[in-house]
Amino acid sequence: MTYQQTKQWIVDGNVDNYPNDTQIQEVAEYIKNNQVVAFPTETVYGLGGNARSDQAIDKIFQAKGRPSDNPLIVHISSKSQLAEYVENITDNAKQLIEAFWPGPLTIVLPHNGKLSPKVTAGLSTVAVRMPDHPVALAIIEAAGLPIAAPSANRSGRPSPTTAAHVTQDLDGKIAGVVDGGATGVGVESTVVDCTTEKVMILRPGGITKEALEQVVGEVLQDPALTEEEEAPKSPGMKYTHYAPSAPLILVDGDINFLRKNVLASKQEGKRVGTLLTQEHQGLSEADKEVIIGSKEYLPEVARALYEALRGFEANEVDIIYSEVFPETDLGSAIMNRLRKAAGGKILQQK
């Protein structure tokens, strides 16, 4: 489906009563009429549609170019709304909801069949979260229905953290975009399976494993984080994601090892880009360096990640080398996204 023009709403960050704002009301009408609209959350921009409507979900998949066997996250505006769409809420889920909702945590539970089966990709479970963003919550509340919302980008592209990113990928392909400024966390929500005895991370994200374990004790990590699964329970577990405009290779080694690979590629006549922390700015000898923040402050890196991946314009470089990060705390989410963006390609210093 194509649109002559994708409508844009610019939402004033100082509005006190979002649900009664005329623009929010108009966006809600679009959603209720099974149109799809991009809007900001605290993680990335989401592409929202009525989670009870097959028609709306088809439009999401079509706009993104996303395979329909990949489940979508359902966004709700209150904790009480969860009970309307799941069979039961486990004790672990209740504890995590109390600790982290609203926030960047998505919980997988058995659904009760009241959502479009296209949202769940035919699975018996559904992934649900309550975003910590006033605009997102106001839209869901005003629409009066659950909103399915994957990231608002073409499938395989880096996720959008500004309305401009959404427009780059989806202009003319969706009904509208709500510009609420840049997002905060920068990487998607953590997805956890609460149908098992111990909570299991299906996708690392804005809530760290360490933070989860402070609430529910030992938390497991799904082996499918490193292996493709035929029927993934979680969004983002299948297919290539977050890819920049040129092939990306991760470099697990010091800056001298990274520079060595840069120079080798330049000798082959390639234009080379590097994704670096500010500690190594100017040291790679690449044709273009994109700085992602400080290695000493990973929240800054997470916020800058997708903007940085989009910073290499098409036909600007032939290959990109990136630093890697320690896989603790938020580093797990950053490395999960970088590995997917690189298609698993990594060079190890010996």
pLDDT of residue 223: 86
Query: Which helix (H) or strand (E) covers residue 250, if one does?
Result: strand 248-252
Q: Residue ranges for the binding site for ATP?
A: 66, 70, 125, 151, 159, 203, 242
Phi, psi angles (nearest 5°) of residue 224: -65, -10
Assess whether 31 and 155 both reside in one domain: yes
Q: How far apart are CA 3 and CA 243, in angstroms?
A: 26
The pTM of the full predicted model, rounded to 2 decimals, is 0.92
CATH of the domain at 152: 3.90.870.10
Single out the residue in 170, 190, 210 at which a domain terminates.
190
Residue stretches of the chain with pLDDT short of 70: 13-17, 19, 226-240
pLDDT of residue 67: 80
Evaluate whether residue 232 is within a structural domain: no
Q: Which domain holds residue 339?
A: 248-348
Evaluate whether residue 53 is within a structural domain: yes
Evaluate whether residue 229 is within a structural domain: no
Query: Using one digit for the tens of pLDDT, what is the confidence trace for 275-334?
Result: 999 999 999 999 999 999 999 999 999 999 999 999 987 789 999 999 999 998 999 999
Q: How far apart are CA 142 and CA 26, in angstroms?
A: 9
Assess whether 181 and 263 both reside in one domain: no
What's the token pair of residue 283?
Answer: 């040291």
Q: How far apart are CA 292 and CA 306, in angstroms?
A: 9
Q: Residue ranges for the binding site?
A: 43, 66, 70, 75, 125, 129, 149, 151, 159, 189, 203, 242
What's the token pair of residue 15?
Answer: 């509005």
CATH of the domain at 320: 3.40.50.11030
pLDDT of residue 228: 46
Q: Residue ranges for the binding site for L-threonine?
A: 43, 75, 129, 149, 189
Contacts of 342 (CB under 8 A, 6+ apart): 247, 248, 249, 250, 322
Evaluate whether residue 326 is within a structural domain: yes
pLDDT of residue 98: 98
What's the token pair of residue 132?
Answer: 């910590």
What's the token pair of residue 302?
Answer: 């997470």
Chain length of the chain? 350
Split into its structural domains, the chain has a count of: 2
Q: How far apart are CA 340 and CA 4, in angstroms?
A: 33
Angle at 75 between CA 169 and CA 124, to 5 degrees: 105
pLDDT of residue 233: 54
